[in-house]
Amino acid sequence: MRRYLLQRLGQALLVLLAAYTVAFVLLQALPGDAVLIKFLGSEMGLTADQIAELRIAYGADAPVWEQYLHTLGRFLAGEFGYSIRAGVPVASLLAENIRPTLVLAGLALAAASLLAVALAVLSQLGFGWVRAVVRSMPPFFVAVPVFWLGIMLIQVFSFQLGLISVIAPEPWEELVLPVLTLAVPISAPLAQLLIRNLDAILNEPFVAVARAKGATHAWVLWRHAARNALPPTLTMAGVLFGELLGGAVVTETVFGLGGLGGLTQQAVANQDVAVLQAIVVLSAAAFVAISLAMDLLLPLIDPRLATRPAGAA
Amino acid sequence: MTTTRRHILAAPALLPVLAALGAREAAAQASPVRGGTLIYLEQQTYTNLYPPAGGFYPNGGVLNQITDKLTYQNPQTLEIEPWIAESWTVNADATEYVFRLRPGVTFSDGTPLDAEAVARNFDTYGLGNRELRHPVSEVITNYQRSEVIDPLTVRFLFHRPSPGFLQGTSVIGSGLVSPRTLALPFDQLGDATKIIGSGPFVVARQVLGRELVLNARRDYAWGPKNHPHQGRALLDSIRIIVSGEDSVRIGALLAGQAHVIRQIQAYDEERVRSRGFQIFAPSTRGVNNSIVFRPDNPLVADIRVRQALRFATNTQEIVDTLFSPNYPRATSIIASTAQGYVNLADRLIYDPRRAVELLEEAGWTLGPRGVRQKDGQELVLTAYESLPQPRNKETLQLVAQQWARIGVRLNVLAGDSGSRVVDNLDPAKTPVSPAMVGRADPDVIRSQYHPLTRNALLQTGGVSQRVRSFHDARLNDLLDAIASEPNREKRLALVGDVQRYILDQAYVIPIFEEPQVFAAAPRVRGLGFEAVGRPSFYGTWLAAR
């Protein structure tokens, strides 16, 4: 087990270095750079000489490999540097944005899971037309644009009914609408997968055997089908969570929330290298950690999977 | 389309005036109330708060509340009046300025705002600081050095005449900050809590990218001498909250969740006004929202082509279809509220037939695809949309339709910021470009067109390495003369000359006078704006509901 973990850790470090390097190369490939965008594209109206001076001060014209080694070296020493666009340390930007992102992504995933399980159960237990309606929900949820949904929820619950304040909300009300907005599209693939797996498993011979022994529908669903349908869904939930960490830009913008999504978008738009590198490495680390957690968690649910890593160790 | 049009035409131009009168009357009746928290919604978050970076509107909106300026430019008359400086003298050729400061002013960290501090501020803004990477301020030219004469008297010396300096001391970009702030590197000045000013409000709390809370300074007693309000600010605090989505800002205002919002699209104005809310559209008083040519590009090097495109641009149609009466059609390269403005509307007429004649004369004949060509080359131009300008993409697309009618194609690109910045330096890639800049001093024209500054026309000798030969010495001489003519009448005459010259050369197609549009709840009173349209909450108060 320990060897397995060490192996995974080594892989993780390689992934992080690769992510760092790829992000660096991609940003270099874009035309322009952060210094040009900040000082030339801005409202400051600097002269040619002043811009040339700033470019030297920021090392913006140094050879690419030198910039790469320089930033990598500082990164390894734990110095994330400063955001050229925002004029604050990258560490403060991260600190300010990680918490809201984690809270929003966590709650949205939890809400989406509840919704998905509810849909899946209804799809098996409900009556004729209910089942049909429930089964058409996931495609519908996926089709609803997040942007539109967010605005509609705000219009109805905040501006029309006045139930929730969107501007300067109390802590409890701040996340209600954003979580709902994100949960709807996220629940769709989960529900879809769960329903399809349940359908397949309920047609397996062992289910027929259980039924023949006198098991109720609910018992079969809970004891047999659910345990088999859950692992793939969990894997997918892990992937979705990873996506949510950086992918809630629209929700963040509509609701005026802070978060890594908006920060990433700004960093890319302004080629704010230091910020983007930190986010990329952080997200890569999160992905690695989540997939490791999933690999360690799945054997607990499905004992058949336990043999593989144990065998490798 | 038709409904929008009727809508705008039906709205009498008098309406905003009446609304403003009504608001003023109401304000006169009730006496100001002290206290309360005002919620102000911004479209974007502030970035770096180094005062000379205050041209970015979200930055200016913050800096204008927390810093004071040496002088005050009266937003009505544009005259320069006392503020932190009680009085001043300027020598005959505008190379020496002496300011006498008001006693007893302190920064919010307790440091005195004295001659030493003022000298330190302008040394930084005038010369920059290489070590700390502080850039030079755009509004200060020819700066040499400062001299502290006594604790309340400071002298500034210039290499060459600098008549724009007095107005330059009144702008947001010259906001006075504590020496402690100026000791920090540029890269740390995006943290609002580190910007220590002497203004009526002080930064209390920030959530980066989301919210900034300002509290009134209780001991503030040094507002501009002629400001209608004196003493501490009336509000207790201001919450500046970022809300990027237009419909959310307006909805929140109408639902009573916010008091003042910035940036309202022209098509939303009527909805806000019809509910009894106030619209404010202060002019930015500078170089108009325009399309500029880059004559270095052979396609637009011929003056007849540029003239033709100007004749083919129906600015009235642009203003009527896309904007509101708050966006007056341009009648010169600068706004009619700008200093030295000359009405040149007779040179800005729409005449598509004349446009076609000029193009034919220049040898551009209609090709098989409906696009004019000459020597096998098609007349196809490209421009990037400018994100900070209101409805710029729609404006350029409408211009493209108008130009298509005379056989010229205009491609409008969005692009990423990097490509936009790099391509906008290359006349071969961007023969035309949208442009505007606000500042209430004639120096603004030089800022916009001189090769050493913003270089909107892309001449040689500027920041772009891609320009091959375009250089207009006559224009640059005129621009330099404006920046260094100490005699006010002569200076304004030069401003008239340069407006005529730029239009005669058809370097620019001015479209409209750009305002900054704000909306406020009916109970918001005393909302002020500085000379180029950034809000001032110093005299603002909230009437009882």
Model confidence pLDDT, tens digit, residues A70-123: 888 888 888 888 998 899 999 999 999 998 889 999 999 999 999 999 998 888
The model's pTM is 0.89
pLDDT in tens, chain B (545 residues): 333 333 333 333 334 444 444 444 444 456 899 999 999 999 999 999 999 998 889 999 999 999 999 999 999 999 999 999 999 999 999 999 999 999 999 999 999 999 999 999 999 999 999 899 999 998 998 999 999 999 999 999 999 999 999 999 999 999 999 999 999 999 999 999 999 999 999 999 999 999 999 999 999 999 999 999 999 999 999 999 999 899 999 999 999 999 999 999 999 999 999 999 999 999 999 999 999 999 999 999 999 999 999 999 999 999 999 999 999 999 999 999 998 999 999 999 999 999 999 999 999 999 989 999 999 999 999 999 998 899 999 999 999 999 999 999 999 999 888 888 889 999 999 999 999 888 888 889 998 999 988 899 999 988 788 899 999 999 999 999 998 899 999 999 999 999 999 999 999 999 999 999 999 999 999 999 999 899 999 999 999 87
Query: For an interface test with A, which of B140, B271, B422, B480 has the most A Cβ atoms less than 10 Å from its Cβ?
Result: B422
Within this chain, do residues A44 and A105 fall inside the same structural domain, yes or no? Answer: no
Q: Do B47 and A44 touch (CB under 8 A)?
A: no
Q: Do A271 and B251 touch (CB under 8 A)?
A: no
- Torsion A223-A229-A232-A235 (CA) sign: negative
For residue A97, the distance in angstroms to the closest alpha carbon of chain B comes to: 8
Domain boundary among A13, A41, A76: A76
Q: Do B136 and A166 touch (CB under 8 A)?
A: no
Average pLDDT of the segment spanning A227-254: 82
Q: Do A168 and B207 touch (CB under 8 A)?
A: no
Q: Does B193 touch chain A (CB under 8 A)?
A: no
Residue of A nearest to B454 (CA): A45
Q: How far apart are CA B251 and CA B246, in angstroms?
A: 9
Query: For an interface test with B, which of A28, A36, A38, A47 has the most B Cβ atoms less than 10 Å from its Cβ?
Result: A47
**Is residue A83 in a domain?**
no
Q: Do B52 and A44 touch (CB under 8 A)?
A: yes
For residues B412 and B449, is the Cβ–Cβ distance under 8 A?
no
Within this chain, do residues A9 and A61 fall inside the same structural domain, yes or no? Answer: yes
Domain boundary among A76, A103, A127: A76
Q: Exposed, middle or buried, B357 (CB in 10 Å: 0-12/13-18/19+)? A: middle
Within this chain, do residues A131 and A255 fall inside the same structural domain, yes or no? Answer: yes
User: End-to-end CA distance of chain B, in Å?
Assistant: 38
**Is residue A38 in a domain?**
yes
For the beta carbon of residue B353, count every other beta carbon within 10 angstroms: 10
**Is residue A276 in a domain?**
no
Q: Do A262 and B425 touch (CB under 8 A)?
A: no
CATH number at residue A133: 1.10.3720.10
Within this chain, do residues A14 and A57 fall inside the same structural domain, yes or no? Answer: yes
Range in A39-43, A223-227, B235-239, B325-329 with the lowest mean pLDDT: A39-43
**pLDDT score for B434:** 95
Q: A224 φ, ψ to 5°?
A: -105, -55
User: For all residues of chain A together, what is the average pLDDT?
Assistant: 85
Tell which A residues from 37 to 76 touch B, by Cβ distance under 8 Å.
Answer: 37, 39-48, 50-51, 53-54, 57-58
Tell which B residues from 259 to 318 touch A, by Cβ distance under 8 Å.
Answer: none
Q: How far apart are CA A248 and CA B143, in angstroms?
A: 48
Query: For an interface test with B, which of A84, A92, A159, A170 has the most B Cβ atoms less than 10 Å from its Cβ?
Result: A159
Q: Does B491 touch chain A (CB under 8 A)?
A: no
Within this chain, do residues A165 and A251 fall inside the same structural domain, yes or no? Answer: yes
Q: Does B425 touch chain A (CB under 8 A)?
A: yes
Residue of A nearest to B255 (CA): A159
In chain B, residues with a C-beta closer than 8 Å to the C-beta of A44 are 52-53, 55, 135, 138
For residue B495, the distance in angstroms to the closest alpha carbon of chain A comes to: 20
Q: Do A87 and B47 touch (CB under 8 A)?
A: yes
Per the structure, the count of domains in chain A is: 2
User: End-to-end CA distance of chain A, in Å?
Assistant: 5
Q: Do B210 and A54 touch (CB under 8 A)?
A: no
User: Does residue B73 sit in helix, strand or coil?
Assistant: strand
Model ipTM value: 0.86
Residues pairing with B241 in the sheet: B41, B211
Domain boundary among A53, A76, A99: A76
**Is residue A279 in a domain?**
no
User: Residue A14 sits in which domain range?
Assistant: 2-76
Within this chain, do residues A164 and A249 fall inside the same structural domain, yes or no? Answer: yes
Q: Does B208 touch chain A (CB under 8 A)?
A: yes
Tell the residue number behind the tokens 């949208």, with chain if given.
Answer: B434
Within this chain, do residues A103 and A66 fall inside the same structural domain, yes or no? Answer: no
Nearest by CB: A154 against B207, B239, B248: B248
Q: Do B452 and A168 touch (CB under 8 A)?
A: no
**pLDDT score for B122:** 98
**Is residue A281 in a domain?**
no
Q: Do B463 and A51 touch (CB under 8 A)?
A: yes
If one compares A128 and A81, the residue with the highest pLDDT of the two is A81
Within this chain, do residues A69 and A193 fall inside the same structural domain, yes or no? Answer: no
**pLDDT score for A308:** 53
Q: Where are the alpha helices (DSSP H) in chain A?
A: 2-29, 34-39, 48-57, 64-76, 90-125, 128-143, 146-153, 171-174, 176-202, 205-212, 217-219, 227-247, 249-255, 260-269, 273-301, 307-312
Q: Do A82 and B188 touch (CB under 8 A)?
A: yes
Q: Do B208 and A51 touch (CB under 8 A)?
A: no
Q: Do B248 and A256 touch (CB under 8 A)?
A: yes
In chain B, residues with a C-beta closer than 8 Å to the C-beta of A164 are none
**pLDDT score for A306:** 65
**Is residue A150 in a domain?**
yes
Residue of B nearest to A58 (CA): B133
In chain B, residues with a C-beta closer than 8 Å to the C-beta of A97 are 208-209
Within this chain, do residues A117 and A259 fall inside the same structural domain, yes or no? Answer: yes
Residue of A nearest to B436 (CA): A43
Q: Does B384 touch chain A (CB under 8 A)?
A: no
**Is residue A205 in a domain?**
yes
Q: Do B248 and A151 touch (CB under 8 A)?
A: yes
- Torsion B190-B194-B196-B200 (CA) sign: positive
Within this chain, do residues A133 and A180 fall inside the same structural domain, yes or no? Answer: yes
In chain B, residues with a C-beta closer than 8 Å to the C-beta of A43 are 53, 55-56, 437
Within this chain, do residues A6 and A139 fall inside the same structural domain, yes or no? Answer: no
Q: How many CA atoms lie within 13 A of A153 on its CB side?
A: 24
Residue of B nearest to A57 (CA): B133
Within this chain, do residues A232 and A199 fall inside the same structural domain, yes or no? Answer: yes
Tell which B residues from 105 to 134 touch A, by Cβ distance under 8 Å.
Answer: 128, 130, 133
**Is residue A224 in a domain?**
yes
